[in-house]
Homo-oligomer: A and B are copies of this chain.
Amino acid sequence: MSRIVNSTGTREVTISNAPPYVALKKGERLPTVMTVATSDPSGGAGIEADLKTFTAHRCYGLTGMAALTAQTPEGVYAIHEIPKEHFKLTLDSCLRDMRVDAIKTGMLTKPAVEVLYETFSAMPADARPHLVVDPVLVATSGSTLVSDQSVIDFIKTLSPLATLLTPNAYEAGRILGRESLELNSVEDLIDVACELQKTTLCPNVLLKGGHAPWVDSNGQKRVTDVLRLGNKTVLYRSVFCTSENTHGTGCTLASAIASNLAHGEALQHAVFGGIQYVHNAIEIGCTVTQPHVKKNGPINHVYAIKQPLQEMVEDLSYSAHALRVDENRSNSTASSSNSLVSQIRDSGSFFEYLISDPRVKPHWETYTRHEFVRCVADGTLPRENFRFFLEQDYAYLDNYAQIHCIAASKAPTTEDFDKSVHIVSEIKTEMEKHREKMMRQFDISDMKHFDQIKMGSALRNYARFFDDVARNGSWVHLCVALSPCLMGYGNALRNFKDKITVPKDDIYHSWCEDYLAPWYVEAMDAGLILLDRVCQMSDDWDTLCKIYASVCKLETEFWDAALYYSPENL
C-alpha cells in the first residue's frame, strides 16, 4: 500500500481503480424514492429513517421536508414548520430535474399536503410515481405535529391517488372515526382492512398488526399484518418482537415498501420484503443512545451492510489489501494465543474446551444424548421416521460436501486444502453407501429419487447457517462449524452403546455400528487435531464457542425433526 518516497518520511498510497464488479454497470439506473415527511435529527425516525432505508435498499433517496423537529427517543422538544413556498420549490424542482420512481409520505403539515396533492393530481395518471402513504397520527415517541382530525383529512385527500396506505390499528380506528377497534381475530383485521379501502378509496391497504398481537396455542406472541390487494387478501404472519427499541418502525416499513416498488417488485412482494426487513432491523437492533435512555431506541437499518474499508482490506484489487494483511499477520502471531493456548492445555484439547463452555455444554449434552439415537439403538423408532431421517441426512451430506469445498477454497495451506478435498471424496463415498442402503431397504429403483428429496425446515435452517458461515466467516469459522456433526455422531453412539439391542441384520444396527467403527474413530482423531490447530489461528474464541453451540443446537433440531416426524407436519 505505501512506501517511503523520501527522507522526510513522506508516504505514498495508491488509490485503485474501481474493481470490475460482475454485477455493476457504469451509470447504473438506480431506483429513486422521495420521502415527504418531517426530520428527526436523532436519526431513528422521519426523513432520516427513510433515507437510511432507501440507501439500505440500494435506492437513490430524495427529500421533501414538511417540518423539522428537535427530538430524541426521550421526547420532542421543538417543531419548525417549513414555509409552503420553500416546500413547493423543492417538490417542483425535484420532480422536474430528477427521476422520481416512488414517493413515501410520513408526518406532514397542512401546506405540504396541499402542495403534494395539487402537484400529484396535476400529473397524468400514467406518469405518477408510486405513492405510499403512511398515515402517521402519533409518533412512537408520543408527539404529533398537527391535530389528528386535520391529519385524517389530509390522508383522505391523498389516499385515492396512492398505491398503498399503511395504517396501524390505532390509525385505522381514527380514519374510520371510531374510538377503538375490536380486533380479536384475523377475520376482524380483514374486515377493517376492507372497510379502510372503502372509506379512503385507496385501492390497496396494509393494516399493520403490531399494536394488536395475539398468542398462539404454544403461548408464542404473534403478529399478523393484513394486506388488501384490490379484492384479494394476503396475510403476513410473524413472531412478535419483544424489543423496546422500535422507534421509527412505521416510517421504515413504508420506506422499505416504496423502495421495493421502485425496484419494480409486485406489491405483495414489496410488502413481504418490507416487513421482513423491519423485523430483522428490530431483532438485530443497535445501541446508539446514552445509557440513561432506556427505551424507544432506534432499530438497526444497516444490519446487512458491510463497512467498505473492511471489504477493501479483504479484496485483492485494493491497495489497502497488502498493508493490512501484513499488519494483521504480525498482530495475530504476536498478541493472542499464548495465554489462550495454556487454557487448552488445562482442558486437554480445544474440543474439550469447546464442549465445556457454558454456552455449548447444554446443547452438546442434548445433542449427544438424543432420544432419536436411543430409539434407533433399541429399534423402537418407526421405519417411516428412519426413512425420513436417512433422506434428510442424504441431502445434508450433499450440502456438507459443498461446504467442505468452500472450506477448501479458504484453506491457509496446500496441506489443509488437500485434506478438505480428501474429505469431500470421503463424503461422496458415504453418500453412495447411503444410496445403496436406502435403495435396498425401501425398494427405490429410480436414482432421480435422491435428487428430488425436499429439504425439511430443520435441514433448511442448518444449511442456512452453514451458508452464512461460508459467506461471512473465515476458514477457522468453517472448520469449527463443520466439527459438531463429525464429533457428535461418534460421541452419541458411544453414549448409547449399551442400549444397542436391535438385531444385527437390521439396518438400524449397521447404522449404529458405522459410527463406532475404527475408520470413524480415526476420522474423529483427525478432527480433534484440526480443532487444536484451528484454535491457535484465532483470538476470538468467543465466536468459535457461539458457532459450536449453534451447530449443536441445529444437530439436535435435525434429530428432533426425525423423531417427531409425521407426514402431516411437513
Contacts and interface: CB of A to CB of B under 8 A. Distances in A.
Interface stretch (A153-161, A374-382, A467-475): A467-475
Interface in A230-273: 232-239, 256, 260, 263, 265, 268-270, 272-273
Contacts of A460: 316-317
B78 A63 contact: no
A83 interface: yes
Given A316-B464, A320-B276, A56 B233 contact: no
B97 A72 contact: yes
Interface stretch (A306-314, A338-346, A438-446): A306-314
Contacts of A77: 89, 93
A87 to B, nearest CB: 8
A213 interface: no
A279 B18 contact: yes
Contacts of A72: 93-94, 96-98
A318 B418 CA distance: 34
A21 B281 CA distance: 13
A564 B63 CA distance: 53
Interface string A49-63: 001100111111111
B22 A473 contact: yes
Interface stretch (A106-114, A407-415, A500-508, A529-537): A407-415
Contact of A472 (B23, B30, B32, B275): B23
A72 to B, nearest CB: 4
Contact of A73 (B32, B58, B64, B97): B97
A43 interface: yes
B283 A18 contact: yes
Contact of A28 (B20, B26, B284, B463): B284
Given A11-B233, A234-B13, A316-B464, A80 B78 contact: no
B28 A464 contact: no
A490 interface: no
A260 B302 contact: no
Contacts of A8: 233
Interface string A461-495: 10111011110110001000000000000000000
Given A304-B308, A465-B20, A93 B71 contact: yes
A568 to B, nearest CB: 14
Contact of A320 (B52, B273, B280): B273
A304 B307 CA distance: 9
A276 B15 contact: yes
Contacts of A465: 20
A74 B48 contact: no
A36 to B, nearest CB: 10
Given A20-B550, A93-B72, A402-B417, A288 B55 contact: no
A468 B22 contact: yes
Interface residues of A, number: 151
A415 to B, nearest CB: 10
Nearest to A256: B308
Contacts of A234: 2, 10-13
A29 B260 CA distance: 28
A265 B320 CA distance: 13
Contacts of A302: 30, 55, 58-60
A20 B58 contact: no
Contacts of A98: 42-43, 72, 288-290, 293
Interface stretch (A358-366, A383-391, A420-428): A420-428
A15 B238 contact: yes
Given A60-B298, A302-B60, A451 B413 contact: yes
A180 interface: no
B421 A10 contact: no
A265 B324 CA distance: 12
Contacts of A65: 39, 41, 68
20 contacts: A13-B235, A15-B239, A15-B276, A16-B276, A26-B283, A26-B285, A28-B285, A30-B288, A30-B302, A41-B90, A42-B62, A43-B98, A55-B305, A70-B89, A72-B93, A74-B93, A80-B86, A263-B307, A316-B463, A402-B410
Sorted nearest first, the 10 A-B pairs with minimum C-beta distance are: A15-B238, A273-B309, A72-B97, A18-B283, A317-B464, A70-B89, A402-B409, A405-B409, A316-B464, A70-B90
